[in-house]
Amino acid sequence: MAVRRDSAVGEQGSGGGKKTAKAAGKAPVSAAKKAPAKTTAAVKKATVAPRKATAAVKKAAPAVKKAAPAKTVAKKPPAKSNESQTALVRRARRINRELAEVYPYAHPELDFENPFQLVVATVLSAQTTDLRVNQTTPALFAKYPTPEDLAAANPEEVEEILRPTGFFRAKTKSVIGLSKALVEQFGGEVPGRLEDLVKLPGVGRKTAFVVLGNAFGRPGITVDTHFQRLVRRWQWTDETDPDKIEAAIGALFPKSEWTDLSHHVIWHGRRICHARKPACGACPITPLCPAYGEGETDPEKARKLLKYEKGGFPGQRLNPPQAYLDAGGKPAPPLGAG
């Protein structure tokens, strides 16, 4: 019985073996079908991963490309220490001579007929253009032609006239205050000394030198924003304080040239050597400029950046000198025209 049971068990096992074999025969096929799928998926994942990695590299690559130009595009001028003081003086004076040939008609770009009008116009030129001042002062001087008239003016009426220049309340206070000071301290006359001018409300060294140089013929250096930018760009000085810039540049030139030098530099800054996009390709002093290449170097593109008479546009004065008109300059339009 035991044997039979064993054989029965064996038969059952054998029969079960047949079924199992059949099942087993099917299972490997199914497994074989499924296995490649998993393998393929794994391969796909492995393939995708490099793509993602490649994408990451591509994303990272532009960052590297963008970072590189920051170091190479801006052309750093040679260190100032490479130029001796003698060489600097020679280069600076040659630049001034070159600019004198380019702007032989350079002049103060504020309209004025006397020292009083010039000092008032210069105070008003803060934080605005000379053109805007020139368009505003005709109405002011028509109503208040003398220091006595402006000293006694109604502030609200003056503010309304000066509104187009910006900061009109502060400027009204300054021009009325300096007019009163002229009447009370200087008999209604503009003083011709630096130490007296800087005592007037709203008058600093820059304004004082504009008045001294252009109304009294006394040499002075006008350190405005254009002047500061260019003398640093040309490496005449690395000072940032206006008084120190004035002293440093004054040491490079004879005193007799200070006023005309100021005109030449300021005119060049307004017309060609702009703050954001210098027209390097149209600049007459490129061989002398250590900052050449900071702006547009293509001649045709550079010419499109020129301003005022160099670009065929009106200047800043409504009543410019005849020499300026003879050179092709055009007078500016009055306020509200066009």
Q: How far apart are the first and last CA of the chain?
A: 126
Residue with structure tokens 């350079």?
106
Q: CA-to-CA distance for 239 and 107, rounded, in angstroms?
A: 26
Catalytic position from the list 111, 224, 260, 310: 224
Does residue 257 contact residue 95 with C-beta atoms inside 8 Å?
Answer: no
**Is 149 marked active-site?**
no
What's the CA gap between 224 and 108, in Å, rounded? 13
What Rg do the C-alpha atoms of the chain give, in angstroms? 40
Q: Is 298 a catalytic residue?
A: no
Sign of CA dihedral 76, 79, 80, 83: negative
Rounded Cα distance, 266 and 276, in Å: 15
Q: Which helix (H) or strand (E) holds 178?
A: helix 168-186
Active-site option among 206, 244, 255, 301: 206
C-alpha 118/C-alpha 209 separation (Å) is: 11
Active site residues per annotation: 206, 224
